[in-house]
Structure 1
Amino acid sequence: MRDTLFISHATPEDNEFTIWIASRLELMGYKIWIDKEGLLGGERFWKEIDGVIRKHSCKILLVYSNNICYENEPGELKTGINKEIELAESIAANERIKDFIIPLHIDNSPYDLFVGSNMLNHIPFNENWATGFEQLLKKLQKDKVPISNRMEESSIAKWFENEYINKNSIIDKTELYYSTWWTFDNMPDEFYIYLFKNKAQAEAIYRTNKIPIGKISNVLTTFESELNTNVERNEELIEITPKERHTISITDLLFGYEKEKFPTHRDSENHFKKLLNQCFFQLMRQSRLYWYELSNKKFAYYYVPNTLQNKRITFEYPFRGKYKKKKTKTLFGKHKSLGNWHYAISSKVSLYPFIGFDLKSHLVFTTNGFQTWDDKKKMHSQRRAKGRRFFNEEWRDMQLAFIQGLKNEDGEIIIEVAKDKLLIFKEWTEMFWADFGYLEPKNKKRQDILNEYYFEEE
């Protein structure tokens, strides 16, 4: 019975896409065959390949790219792929199988890489893998390719994890780990919650003061003990007196306290988080960063050409002693012919285990180095295309460089939060020493290729 999807591809150049498509088709219930030994650089067993194509394959899915030819020369198919295609063409002709070979077009290669390839129905994956996968599923359903209704985990994904990924195992080594927690060198001992009669009063005071203030409805939160409550109206100063003013110590905030009336401990947490969000925004604005609104209404902040004197940020890793070596990172630059790419961060306030921010990395794209693209789908597609080249080290270094770029002329990251009160940010995220680690792959082969690549916006 012909019930198997045979995937033919160039090894190792197109392994990434091949495992991605194979694992997803298998999760959908299709029976898949790929050359597992060939994926790992082993010997191709032609007897088995011949038998699968000749007796069991209902479709030959050809991962179509420049890599199927020697040295990217059209017409010179690599030996293994050439054998598979010739056998498939022979079987299709003898048994009159329609659309037996389906090219999955994953790059900008021409449609005539080999004789007859331009006569085949190509499914485009070169713009968006998800869109191509959807079109492929429609074709398989139309041609009534057998499918199992029982949902099971992908054996291909499990095999790849056991045989390939797990070889890069944890080893004994002293290693420094950088977290995404970004905290402070100092923190005021207390903060203040002001309750006003109505929302309009709170809004007027909020706009009068230029320091970071958290605002939720008719409540303002600040590190300022003597908030300016004078508002100019019709060329006169009017004082708006808050109904209530509460002093909350940071110790009570962290360890909790019992109170039934406003502000309860939960109230204090919520309003303090709002205040810290404003402190983060103030720092980004002070540093003249631009921001992009994410789908969850948060902002991702990014550097632009006039933010930095030099788009390259140079820094030294901590704890390197006499082996200190300067690191230089670029946080934005040209992206193909489409515009510019920018590394960006968003933040979420964290109270435990540290008071500070949990940073999240993003990529955004602009038309001219400043204005982000309006096309969300295009933005998403290029995030994946650009992000596929980044590994842990790259993301870590960009995050560290981003923070280093916020320093003032004295090498400090500071904002004013009240009269005679400064909030000083650390120059590094929180770090942890461990007696175990792993070897980062140097051949730039993705370890997460079983997952469709999305940059989360939440």
Structure 2
Amino acid sequence: MRDTIFISHATPEDNEFTVWLASRLELLGYKVWIDKKELLGGETFWETIESVIKINAVKFLLVYSKNICYPDSEEIKGGIQKEIDFAKDVIKNETLNDFFIILHMDDSGYNLFPGAKDLNQIPFNENWAEGLTALQKKLVRDNVPVTDIHELDEAAKWYLNNYLVKNPIIEKKELYYTNWWSVKSMPKSFFIMRYKNEKQANKVAADNENYLLVKDANCVTTFNKRLHTKIIDSFGNTSILPYEVFEITISELLQGYEKESFPSFRDAENHFKKLFKRTLHLFFKNKQLYWYDLSNKNMAYYHTYTSLPTSKVTFDFPYRENARPKTKNLLGKHLEVGKWHFAISAKPALSPFLGFHLRSHLIFTKSGYGAIDDKDLQHTHRRKKGKRMFNEEWRDLLLAFIKSLGDSEGEIILKTGTETDIVMKPSLEMFWSDYGYFDPKDLKRQELFIDDEREDFIQEQE
């Protein structure tokens, strides 16, 4: 019975992706075969590979990157070519639905070997998780057999035991930091002002550009309902007034309400989130932070040497007695590219806390200011640097970033244009757990690098 997914890849260059993919597929319930002996420096006999492809494989996955070719050459490496040719022979001799699938890892052309462009290709070059989702849909559609969905088989066990960490989850009291950044206090209400037409709303927004507001169609949303606009016509000055003003309290927004007419709860939620997001954007802008447009139309905000001249931030850990403060760089030198910058994007949310759901990013610049336009280059260096960063470092960078936003008193105040501003908490939401683990350190992770990556890592540390 064909029940095994065979993964062909270049060793050692694509080892990390291959074992990541194998472990994820097995956690999803699929039976996977990868050449673990070769990964560990041993030797696998061709008869074993041939048998798996010919008899057991239901899918042949090729990790498709420039690494399958010899350096500075368009010739496919011997071992890879042998597996490709044998998979093609299997297809000729048997009727198999989309047996050969290419996992496209980088910007390589679509025809590294004859017939490659005619095969099913799934993109993994932008995001591994998105590629896995697309691959899983394909496997489900083609009825690839699965076992118990949480059973760890050979590749997953090998990955967890030999490639990640050898420290299991243990019982210990440990404080965990979330990526939720909550509101400490804010105005009790906000207002949705509805005008007769969009032209009037545009005029009001333009004439009150110094106020915090957002315009959507013929509506203007603000914390301050005392907006003013006058137009001059042949009869003198005439004020533009909204024909409806809706005051919505934050408490009823958080509790929810039922209403069929405008503004429904969904209307109120959408208008508030746009206003809340605009408030944060203006705060970052006034702090002289730069921002980078992400592919999901969100923005990642980062410090430069203007907003953070020393590049360093010193912060304390909550609940730690007699703990020394810690200092982190939020930007610095990165190889030949120029500079790296820690950045965050923020998504407004009403639950589980009123505040922002934060995501961490790495942005690269040549001069320390404007981001490099080449998205592929950004992606390449994001993976190159990010793969060496563990949970502890991401946590510390995020804590340092939040700390960097405070004023001289440590307060983080988002101006609303009213007597009551939005005050954010000076740290992230946290919770205690009865279980924990030991995070691996960078020196141990270096053992997993191939030689040129290890040299890059050492260069960055210097």
Could you state the TM-score of these two structures normalised by the residue count of structure 2? 0.69
Q: Deviation digits for residues 128-159 of structure 1, max 9, x if unmatched? A: 953569777869999xxxxx998467955423
Of 201-210 and 425-434, the range deviating more from structure 2: 201-210
Partner of 1:174: 173
- Cα deviation digits, residues 372-408 of structure 1 (max 9, x gap): 2221212211211121111111111111111111111
In structure 2, what is the equivalent of residue 218 of structure 1? 218
How far apart in 2 are the matches of 1:360 and 1:163?
29
Contact 2:201 2:218 in 1 (8 A): yes
* Superposition deviation, residue 212 in structure 1: 2.3
Alignment deviations for residues 308-329 of structure 1 (CA, whole Å, 9 cap, x no partner): 131111111111122x211111
* 1:140-219 alignment, distance < 5 Å: 151=144, 157-161=155-159, 163-164=161-162, 165=164, 167-209=166-208, 210-219=210-219
More displaced stretch, 252-261 vs 385-394? 252-261
2:35 corresponds to which letter in structure 1?
W
Distance 1:5 1:282 in 2: 49
Matches within 5 A, 1:74-89: none
Cα distance in structure 2, aligned partners of 1:162 and 1:33: 16
Matched, 1:360 2:359: yes
Q: Partner residue of 1:317?
A: 317
SS at match of 2:276: helix
For the 8 Å contact 2:10–2:67, the answer to whether it is kept is no
Q: How does 1:372-411 map to 2 (within 5 A)?
A: 372-411=371-410
- Structural RMSD (CA): 4.2
Instruction: Give yes or no for contact 1:215–1:274 (8 Å, CA) kept in 2.
Output: no
Cα distance in 2 for residues equivalent to 1:414 and 1:119: 57
- Please give the alpha-carbon distance, in whole angstroms, between the structure 2 residues aligned to 1:427 and 1:166: 33
Whether the 8 Å CA contact 2:33–2:155 is kept in 1: the answer is no
CA contact (8 A) 2:34 2:155 kept: no
Contact 1:213/1:222 (<8 A) preserved: yes
- Residue deviations 1:89-145 (CA, integer Å, cap 9, x gap): xxxxxxxxxxxxxxx9869x987xxxxxx9975599xxx953569777869999xxx
Aligned partners of 1:105 and 1:122 also within 8 Å: no
Identity of aligned residues (%): 39
Q: Provide, for residues 285-336 of structure 1, a one-character-per-residue CA deviation record: whole Å limited to 9, x for no partner.
A: 11111111111221111111111131111111111122x2111111112221
Structure 2 CA distance for partners of 1:411 and 1:195, relative to 1, 3 Å? same
Say which is worse superposed, 214-223 or 426-435, in terms of deviation.
214-223
TM-score by length of 1: 0.70
The 5-angstrom pairing of residues 269-280 of structure 1 reads: 269-280=269-280
Q: Residue by residue, what CA displacement relative to the aligned partner does 1:211-247 show, whole Å, maximum 9, x if unpaired?
A: 32132111112221x422224669x865210111111
For the residue of structure 2 that corresponds to 1:329, the secondary structure is strand
Work out which of the two has the higher radius of gyration on C-alpha atoms and give 1 or 2: 1
Q: 1:198 and 1:208 mapped to 2: Cα distance?
A: 16
Paired residues in the alignment total 375
Paired letter, 2:395: R
CA deviation vs aligned residue, 1:229-269 (integer Å, no higher than 9, x gap): 224669x8652101111111112111122323211222111
Q: 1:364 to 1:194 in 2, by over 3 A?
A: same
State the distance in 1 between where 2:206 and 2:365 align. Answer: 31
| Aligned CA distance change for structure 1 residues 174 and 231 (closer, same or farther; 3 Å) | farther
Measure the CA separation in 2 of the matches of 1:342 and 1:281. Answer: 18
Q: Which position in structure 2 is the counterpart of 1:267?
A: 267
Provide the secondary structure at the position in 2 that maps to 1:215: strand
Q: Is the 8 A contact 1:214 1:276 kept in 2?
A: no
SS of 1:35 mapped into structure 2: helix
Distance in 2, Cα, partners of 1:256 & 1:31 = 51
CA distance in structure 2 between the aligned counterparts of 1:198 and 1:347, rounded to whole angstroms: 31
Is residue 338 from structure 1 mapped to residue 337 from structure 2 by the alignment? Answer: yes
Q: Does the CA-based 8 Å contact 2:314-2:326 persist in structure 1?
A: yes
Give the 3 Å change call, closer, same or farther, for CA 205–150 of structure 1 in structure 2.
Answer: closer
In 1: Cα distance, 2:240 partner to 2:7 partner: 74
Cα distance change, pair 431–211 in 1 and its aligned pair in 2 (3 A)? farther
Alignment partner of 2:381: what SS? Answer: helix
Quote the Cα distance in structure 1 between the aligned partners of 2:294 and 2:237.
39
Match of 2:156, as an amino acid? K
Mark the CA change 1:326 to 1:162 in structure 2 (over 3 Å): closer, same or farther.
Answer: closer
Amino acid at match of 1:218: N
Question: Once the 2 structures are TM-superposed, how far is the Cα of residue 161 of structure 1 from its aligned partner?
Answer: 4.5
* Preserved contact between residue 302 and residue 345 of structure 1 (Cα < 8 Å): yes
**Given the alignment, which residue of 106, 123, 127 partners 1:130?**
106
Structure-2 separation of matches of 1:370 and 1:430: 30
State how far apart, in whole Å, the 2-side matches of 1:344 and 1:389 are.
17
Amino acid at match of 2:252: D
CA contact (8 A) 1:344 1:363 kept: yes
| Unpaired runs of at least 5, structure 1 | 60-103, 112-117, 143-147, 450-458
Q: Which residue of 2 aligns with 1:89?
A: none
